[in-house]
Amino acid sequence: MLKVVQNLGCSSGFLSQLWKKAHHNTPCGLSSIAISTNPLSNSASTRTRRRHPTTTKLDSFVFSTRGTRSERPSRVCETRSESNPDATTSPSSSSAGNVSKINFCQWCGGPTKHDIPDGEEKMRAICTVCDKIAYQNPKMVVGCLIEHDKKILLCKRNIEPSYGLWTLPAGYMEIGESAADGAIRETWEEAGADVEVESPFAQLDIPLIGQTYVIFLAKMKKPHFSPGPESSECRLFDLDDIPFDSLAFSSIFVSLNLYIDDIRSGKLKFHYGTINKRPGSSPSDMHAFSLDNHLQC
Amino acid sequence: MLKVVQNLGCSSGFLSQLWKKAHHNTPCGLSSIAISTNPLSNSASTRTRRRHPTTTKLDSFVFSTRGTRSERPSRVCETRSESNPDATTSPSSSSAGNVSKINFCQWCGGPTKHDIPDGEEKMRAICTVCDKIAYQNPKMVVGCLIEHDKKILLCKRNIEPSYGLWTLPAGYMEIGESAADGAIRETWEEAGADVEVESPFAQLDIPLIGQTYVIFLAKMKKPHFSPGPESSECRLFDLDDIPFDSLAFSSIFVSLNLYIDDIRSGKLKFHYGTINKRPGSSPSDMHAFSLDNHLQC
């Protein structure tokens, strides 16, 4: 049985079409979401039933929609330099997925060739001396959405990209730590806040730039925070005052929208989705992406 | 308010202590879980309330437990060569986290030095010519838990590591695809099954080997499957007949246990947790890990 919840009638709200498929009593479901910049102005909703997922193109913020999958799984190879929160300290990430930039073998120093290895489908950098392949994989960015006294803790970025714009404390997960511990560490480094993770909140893949955001809901152990070197300011924002017109990254925009949507509905969920960015768009361009294949539990 | 569900009185079942913290009506909570090898023999349970998470050491399969976090976030740096499902086709992954194996700059070919860069805390490989840093990050392994006619689709591995042991179809996520699309692709490649993802099911971090498993619940579009080159056999197993004594990886063992636990409880959830493996243990050693900081929604 397909159960559909469709929010309509909102001129500028955080509009979504939510498909909840009853399956062993799990509340998970599929939706494609079109996002605008003022989620709190969503003042009306209508519920109805539909048999199949569709996407409503609501405004200029949606550049494409994908509510269904192709018949056969296929690889998507397009990538580009990126909008990651740590770009200025992570030179390697600036070439994520661009195999042509790997010119030498990191193990033996031999020159590489760029070819599709036997039995594979994707172009790789292969060492011409030791034959090792330099695989590249998406990076995980882990962070915390911290609520305190019904306010959300945001950090103003003191580094590029998106200098001067607001973000959740987040950064690259390191080898040797869990995603939750990485999110706690990044929150300490960027916001000086000592937090404990309460629940997973969202996994948002961004295929174009080879990143996956994993956001946890967290609480401060003590009501204290102060900006670290990568932040010029940290501040608690009422949900009505979140600066949606000056957020640093699409992933943060989506996370905050989903959170507000959940708060409004009275139930926090876990969200999975794909942020499809328009190639060439800037990290903070909120007019240039769509959230596709949104699943929530 | 802390709500605790503790399953006790089971000599060999999938025993767990589940803490569900009421927070904005979210059902997410924290638990530490001790795992044994025969989850379906769990025939009795008792519910009680406790104020704080604890861990019950149940049998020899638990080598350590961690129910609480340290006071301050800290970096964990220990890593080792690994138990990944694609190790034989991913040479780069065999040095995950071992910065000393990076001897040359992949961009300019210059020799590297191994040092802690200014403003950082972790040892990195830094090019002595162009000063670029070779960051290493955890890899995501994405896969599908496919139910068909109340049976689960498993693949017998035709490659090392864990040759001849059973696994869910899963493999490394590629740059340019979403986790869900990667899981669909891997299922097609390893099991010849064309599936659609229904919901996220689990994120399991394995800090020791720098991997994060992301498992989705999925359905076959058509009731057809056949082993790909990396599998010698694919088979649907009744839940009572899952070969828990011959599974390939701890992550698969945990995923199947959690799934059965959910089926038994009548509600499928999303699970987040950390698999802490005993250093030096083999990928398929089910006596050498614990699932810590388990959160479920």
Residue whose entry in the numeric block shows the structure tokens 């991913």: B90
Residue of A210, A231, A223, A94 lying closest to A168 (CA atoms): A231
Burial classification of residue A180, based on how many CB atoms lie within 10 Å of its CB (0-12 exposed, 13-18 middle, 19 or more buried): buried
CB contact under 8 A, A25 and B266: yes
B-chain residues near A295 (CB < 8 A): 180, 197-200
Which residue is closest to A260 within chain B, CA to CA?
B24
Q: CATH homologous superfamily for B139-296?
A: Nucleoside Triphosphate Pyrophosphohydrolase (3.90.79.10)
Residue-wise over B272-294: b if at least 16 C-beta within 10 A, else e? bbbbbbeeebebbebebbbbbbb
Tell how strand A231-238 and strand A151-157 pair up: antiparallel
Asked whether B30 and B53 are in contact (CB, 8 A), the reply is yes
Q: Containing H/E element for B219? A: strand B211-220
Predicted pLDDT at B290:
96
- One CATH from 3.90.1580.10, 3.20.20.210, 3.40.50.300, 2.20.70.10 for A98-134: 2.20.70.10
Question: Residues B163-205: pLDDT tens digits?
Answer: 999 999 999 999 999 999 999 999 999 999 999 999 999 999 9
Domains in chain A: boundaries? 98-134, 139-296
Q: Containing H/E element for B98? A: none
Over range A178-198, report the average pLDDT.
98
Which residue ranges in chain B fall short of pLDDT 70?
Answer: 1-97
Question: Residues A201-219: pLDDT tens digits?
Answer: 999 999 999 999 999 999 9
List the beta strands (DSSP E) in A165-287.
166-167, 170-172, 195-206, 211-220, 231-238, 271-277
pLDDT(A96) > 90: no
Predicted pLDDT at A28:
59
- Asked whether this chain's domains B97-134 and B139-296 adopt the same fold, the reply is no
CB contact under 8 A, B138 and A133: no
Type of residue found at B168: L
CA–CA gap between residue B178 and residue B183 (Å, rounded): 9
B-chain residues near A73 (CB < 8 A): 181, 184-185, 187-188, 194
Q: How far is B181 from chain A (nearest CA, A)?
A: 7
Asked whether B63 and B50 are in contact (CB, 8 A), the reply is no
The CATH-assigned architecture of domain B97-134 is Single Sheet (2.20)
CB contact under 8 A, A79 and B176: yes
- Sequence-distant (≥ 6) Cβ neighbours of residue B118 within 8 angstroms: none
Which residue is closest to A202 within chain B, CA to CA?
B200
* Pairwise pLDDT comparison (A127 vs B81), residue with the higher score: A127
Residue of A161, A190, A168 lying closest to B119 (CA atoms): A190
- A53-57, A72-76, B26-30: which has the minimum mean pLDDT? A53-57
Question: Residues B47-89: pLDDT tens digits?
Answer: 222 222 323 222 223 323 223 323 333 333 333 333 344 333 3
First to last CA, chain A: 16
Which residue is closest to A72 within chain B, CA to CA?
B194
Asked whether A17 and A56 are in contact (CB, 8 A), the reply is yes
Over range A239-263, report the average pLDDT.
98
Residue-wise over A187-210: b if at least 16 C-beta within 10 A, else e? bbbbbbbbbebbbbbbbbbbbbbb
Q: In the A/B pair of chains, how many CB contacts fall below 8 A?
A: 276
A-chain residues near B133 (CB < 8 A): 90-92
Smallest Cβ–Cβ distance between A176 and the set B79, B120, B194 belongs to B79
- Sequence-distant (≥ 6) Cβ neighbours of residue B27 within 8 angstroms: B20, B269, B296, B297
Interface test with B, best of A199, A201, A215 (most B CBs within 10 A): A199
- A77-86, A179-188, A241-250: which has the minimum mean pLDDT? A77-86
Interface test with A, best of B199, B211, B259, B277 (most A CBs within 10 A): B199
Please tell me whether the peptide bond between B138 and the residue prior to it is cis, using omega within 30 degrees of 0: no
At residue A31 the predicted structure's pLDDT band, cuts being 50, 70 and 90, is: low
Predicted pLDDT at B96:
55
Predicted pLDDT at B30:
56
CA–CA gap between residue B175 and residue A97 (Å, rounded): 6
